[in-house]
Chains A and B, each alone.
Chain A
């Protein structure tokens, strides 16, 4: 339908730009030589969606290890009561920057990396709609990362107010907080540009016959996620800008003494923050929705209802922010509204879980690494959903708010949710991206150690929270010692087991066995059915025709 426009847009965008030599470290191979730029020029000037996708993924992987290192420092301090490893101020900075890095530096860029690689291939487009902006939205993240790391070395240290940056605490800190605010602005701009690119690509560059309701679910979840990003990132930008002017230019948006209100920051922040939670999980839903059918060897159960459920979750995400604020003392009517709205989210989320299980039902299942991670996702995410339901109840939340129960809850949805979704995606598409097959034995080992270590780390944190241990404390009463020690042991196992993942990826790229064009018997999206492994540097320069 949009064919003519599609071709011009995509071709105009990709032709005449840099396509250089292979770059070490897994950038896409290429099959044509328009020009001969060196690897560094290619890295900086590339507009190819596969190059940019790889750059996003490596950046995210690096940040994942940095953020993980911070988490291990936190867990090491919490191995026993008393202060042993870091000062309280540093501890607060570690919890703050760990969260910011994992959210904005690891999970979101990794999803954008997958979107870059997969969206054009899955809809039969030659590239993203705005290739130069694509390059720019990646490179803008580098100064942001430098600012975040650099803030540890300036007077006053890195931001130490928790990633939620609540005033007035955040106005007490030094220049590190200003650097964090600037970093958030840059990362937000990057996300907005990435989202505009993805929406435009999906709406305009689909191959003839690729109707919206035939798109793979990964494209659908990303389309919806991109709208969430465009709607909420400017809100965050506004909130942190108000912080900046409160800090330096004498305004009093959040200062009661000047007529402002600290609670208003929380409302604005969580109006962004709650949709953000779904930004961190919806693309993972998409990945899982592609992998489970592939290993069940039958189509996704209830495709249409999956699309509607994703959209419902996205819409609901805008009216539940108040559940992060039950303890600020909002009126009963407010608490009840946010409680009911939050409980409602269980319905579309339940639909998704039931659909995934029904996809496995009467299938012909095999359990390669991507499938294992998806089943792990399904089990652990369901548990995280249960604790979410518990927390949605105002009165119960009162006793659990800001305790380790909340820490356990969101790690149950984010680690096995976002991170395992991504991990499953890496194992699933690595053969397609690189043309080489990963080591299945190591992949399975990675899964089983992660699964055990994850639960050893985070399950006891439910108990700590129920017993009343607050979060973001560097030291604790003696009664919390045992579960904290078990949690720390699990955390180190979990952290170091990710090195297996790194090793597996690197050896696959260097010396993996040749992968088949259709490595997975049950995979049915265009990149598997229409393209060889590894995928050529340029794909679908002429759009495929779908019946």
Chain B
């Protein structure tokens, strides 16, 4: 027995040692966050406080329960001559006590917890309302009262991410996977109500520092609210699995002072107005639908559009990842007439991951279609001009 223990101990020691070595090898700059990030709204401050409150209650119970357990383990060992007290197997009094005490503890937790729930659910009297729409795989924000709306997509380039067999070619930036092209911007100190929904599958709009985690459910609108205490940038991600690129739809919220917000809003109205008349002109301010581009121009522009919108599924090689994400190289639709492909890009394919890209400008769609028709070994020689796309829009 003595010998057994010794070998066992040696083995434990060597595994433990190996583990320590690995831990020590992790660089000193490493981040070892162990708690909820600093709260930035009254609600998330309450959440932080509640969590600490419960954590400490748990720690106290832990000490008592584990204390009793380890006391028995060390005190009542047969090897130390302990003799079992076989009559100690029932006590109504003790049982009543240890049923009653947890009740009291639970009430001590439930009271503040209830208050926070009621505060969270009170979405009345907002200063402003923004509609948040999830889609595969990004977000759209609509400031309905100001008639501004825009898309917010992952800004991390795919060559920082890499894929199996093809390691990333670029060093990962500090904001890796948490950066977006167009962040949500709100003013500080204002009561902001979000109407959360989705275009396709269920998504989760999750920004821990704002105390919000809300499913966007297609066909339904749910509301939540927050008031940011201070200016700053707050990060989050989609929290509900929503398909292939679930891990690649981050959220960035920038809280600005009122003056900076007003300035931003003016710019946004110029770029992203949803007013029907303005939108038509502003969709692509410099877009001249009647312009005829050359093949080289279309391909150069199209390659950029492809990299921003298509590459994740159809891949840099155009070979896709069949069967979920079909190849474009040699594809029937791509090799066929322009109309068919314009139709797919504008309307998507219902029931598949191919969404509608109608939000892109006519020039973008024309160029990306031309690019795919004349790349990846496809050589149709077909040119698609912005006017063709415009004509196909209903």
Question: Hey, which bits of chain A sit against chain B, CB under 8 A?
Answer: 81-89, 92, 155-157, 160-162, 166, 168-169, 171-172, 174, 255-257, 261-263, 296-305, 327-329, 331-332, 335-336, 339-340, 343-344, 346-347, 350-351, 353-354, 357-366, 375, 378-379, 382-383, 386, 389-390, 393-396, 398-399, 401-403, 440-441, 444-445, 448-449, 452, 456, 463, 466-468, 470-479, 481-483, 485-486, 489, 493, 522
Contacts and interface: CB of A to CB of B under 8 A. Distances in A.
11 contacts: A83-B161, A298-B86, A327-B240, A332-B118, A351-B99, A365-B76, A393-B54, A395-B47, A402-B239, A463-B33, A475-B247
Nearest to B322: A155
B391 interface: no
B110 A343 contact: yes
B161 A475 contact: yes
A481 B30 contact: yes
B109 interface: yes
B172 interface: yes
Contacts of A261: 219-220
Nearest to A247: B351
B51 A390 contact: yes
Contacts of B217: 256, 262-263, 328-329
Nearest to A155: B323
B208 A399 contact: yes
B89 A445 contact: no
Among B32, B218, B239, max chain A CB count under 10 A is at B239
A519 to B, nearest CB: 16
B15 interface: yes
Interface stretch (B16-24, B269-277, B279-287, B369-377): B16-24
Nearest to A465: B36
B202 A169 contact: yes
Interface string B98-136: 110011001001100110111011000000000000000
Contact of B43 (A88, A262, A395): A395
Contacts of A402: 204, 206, 213, 239-240
A366 B79 contact: yes
The main secondary structure of chain B at its interface with chain A is mixed
Contact of B213 (A262, A378, A398, A474): A398
B214 A169 contact: no
B62 interface: yes
B238 to A, nearest CB: 7
A300 B351 contact: no
Contacts of B121: 331-332, 335
A296 B84 CA distance: 7
Interface string B246-264: 1110000000000000000
Interface string B303-328: 00000000000000000011110000
Contacts of B23: 486
Nearest to B87: A298
A301 B89 contact: yes
Contacts of B65: 353-354, 357, 382
Contact of B26 (A157, A160, A389, A485): A485
Given A298-B85, A393-B50, 4 more contacts: A82-B168, A329-B223, A360-B76, A466-B34
A493 B50 CA distance: 35
B283 to A, nearest CB: 27
A347 B102 contact: yes
Given A84-B164, A339-B113, A347 B99 contact: yes
B11 A172 contact: no
Contacts of A85: 164
Closest 4 CB pairs of A and B: A256-B219, A329-B222, A473-B247, A332-B121
A396 B98 contact: no
Contact of B95 (A155, A305, A393, A448): A305
B62 A171 contact: no
Contact of A335 (B50, B98, B117, B172): B117
A482 B89 contact: no
A395 B113 contact: yes
Given A360-B72, A467-B33, A482-B26, A301 B243 contact: no
Contact of A482 (B11, B32, B117, B163): B32
A83 B168 CA distance: 8
A395 B120 contact: yes
A485 B103 CA distance: 40
B82 interface: yes
B45 to A, nearest CB: 11
A474 B237 CA distance: 13
